[in-house]
Amino acid sequence: MCATLTVGLGFNGYASLYPYESFSSLLYKTLGLFTLGFSAQTGNIPLQLDVARWLAPLLLSYAAVRTLMLMLRDRLALLRLRRLKHHAVVCGLGGQEAEDGYGWTVVQALVAKGIPTVVIEPNPLNVHLGWARNQGVAVITGNARDSQNLIQANVMQAGYLLALTEDDAANSEIVYQAFQLKQTHPDTPLLTCIAQVQSNELAAILYDDVVFSKDYTNFSARVINMRQMAARWLLAQHGPDRVLINAVSKMREIRILLLGNHDFSDDLMLRLARLGHYGTPQPIHVTMAGPQAESRLEWLSMRHPILSDIMSITAKDIELSFLSAQTTQKLINSSNPDMIYVCAADTEATLIWTKALARLPLNCPAIICQFSDTVLARRIESLCASHTHFKFVYPLDDIFSFDELFNTTQDQLAMLIHNHYVASQIDAGDTPGNNTSLINWAELPETLKDANRNQADHLQIKCHILTGSIQYTPEQIEHALQDPKACERLAHMEHDRWMAEKLLDGWQRTTGEKDTARRLSPALVPWNDLPEHERQKDRDAVANIPQLLRWIEEQSKPGRLG
């Protein structure tokens, strides 16, 4: 702004001195002021030109000093990196929208946690760089796939590496580079890495790679998908077992209406298929409604042919431009939902769906998912404040805590579940030769770690169904499990969850022996057809719930898990 003012003053001053000069000539003389090139006869110099000839070199000097100070600050920050230990290295800050990457939000969470953070960002004009530097975050401008930039970020002494660029391949390559660096320095501390990978195909390939599937003494890496994390959070915080807590244990079937066509809807559907086992006689029924709902269901079914065997699904195409109170009421009447999730593609579509529901005498809870925290999004929430059935949530905003990103509690709970399974199977006479799952957690393939993580997530669902309450204690669960029928019901739920997970992962039933390599298992049968020794595995898992709850209770005490 000062530079514009200086140019304006100088140009007007020269114009009054040389009224017959051309525009380009006057502009050339004006720009010369910034290089001390004042060209005018001494004498009666116009005031504006006199001001401009002093202001221009002062501005130039200020800019030079400012640039030198910034360069010095960055140089000092890089020197401090050499002394940093157990810090976090974030690769990619992302843009202003969530679709442009999540790096900036993750950096905010790390700073709030008090973890020293280094950012590697290829765009020197990224809108978040100023904020990052003001928060004391060291910034390296460059490509994180270049191992020299990782070395400069002192990744050897770092505790965490987060590859969060918009490019899945780049994120996996960053982790590979870090792995190679750590392999050459085996005595360095543990580096925990996460690579954001949105492609399910690439994630499946990485799951079988030793870099991601095996834990090393100084290196551990895993793949994350932000939308899948958000779906996990949504069901954990606003799933049927919580929203319908007073009724779910008595329901024959849970009917869910899923409105909108946000990509998140597909992840929510798959999460419901894996975790949505609530002990009802009938599997959950989901009605997908919105633009191209039928084609989205067709795409999901092609991708996961077994989906319709796990849950009941219907789809109804509804264009927002034709959405009316009558259309919405007809949809409600036909789907007869026990609860509704709104997952619209954008804020405008969310407003349309929400207003359509608000016009109806709705008698079931509606969870409105907002995917951008904007003025309009908050306005929608305030406009519907009087509708007690509505609950507004921000799934992509609520997953960026340290514990959510690194699964601190979930992983430790999953490890306890795995250790209990190994011990119980060895006590039952099984051996690692017969059962390849009977190995240490660190050596367990990532797919089996995920299976234990899902079982850990299903823990609260079982407890909600058992007690009919969101609040419970280990002692209450232990007392309730003394009822053989209650224990059997939860064991049945666990088998249904396990079977859905295996089927979604491509396993098939066999009448022969279990074959892990070919993904064949004789246990992929309904509960009533399951051999007694297989049922006992599920009963053992249920009997272990009070012990797991005591561990959670212990970890929640101050000074334990962050």
Radius of gyration over alpha carbons of the chain, in Å?
30
Which of these CATH numbers, 3.40.50.720, 1.10.8.640, 3.40.50.970, 3.90.950.10, describes 241-272+280-390?
3.40.50.720
pLDDT at res. 562:
35
pLDDT at res. 559:
44
Q: Per DSSP, which regions of 202-284 are E strands?
A: 219-224, 255-259
What does the alpha-carbon distance between residue 458 and residue 71 come to, in Å, rounded to a whole number?
A: 52
Q: For 402-555, CATH number?
A: 1.10.490
pLDDT in tens, 284-335: 999 999 999 999 999 999 999 999 999 999 999 998 877 888 899 999 999 9
- Find the angle CA(232)-CA(237)-CA(238) to the nearest 5 degrees: 100
Secondary structure of 487-532 in HEC code, one letter for each residue: HHHHHHHHHHHHHHHHHHCCCEECCCCCECCCCEECCCCCHHHCCH
Residue type, 333: N
Q: Are strands 219-224 and 255-259 parallel, antiparallel or unpaired?
A: unpaired
Global pTM value: 0.83
pLDDT at res. 560:
43
pLDDT at res. 561:
39
What does the alpha-carbon distance between residue 335 and residue 314 come to, in Å, rounded to a whole number?
A: 9
pLDDT at res. 482:
95
Q: Per DSSP, which regions of 318-402 are E strands?
A: 339-342, 366-369, 390-393
In the predicted model, residues of the chain with pLDDT beneath 50 are 558-562
The superfamily CATH assigns to domain 82-224 is NAD(P)-binding Rossmann-like Domain (3.40.50.720)
User: CB–CB of 103/119 below 8 Å?
Assistant: yes
528 — phi, psi (to 5°)? -65, -20
pLDDT in tens, 453-485: 999 999 999 999 999 999 999 999 999 999 999
Can you spell out the DSSP letters for 101-123? -SHHHHHHHHHHHT--EEEEES-
Element at 264 (helix H, strand E)? helix 264-275
Tokens representing 497? Answer: 């969850």
Using left for φ > 0, alpha for ψ between -120 and 50, and beta otherwise, residue 161 falls in: beta
> Is residue 107 exposed (0-12), middle (13-18) or buried (19+ Cβ within 10 Å)?
buried
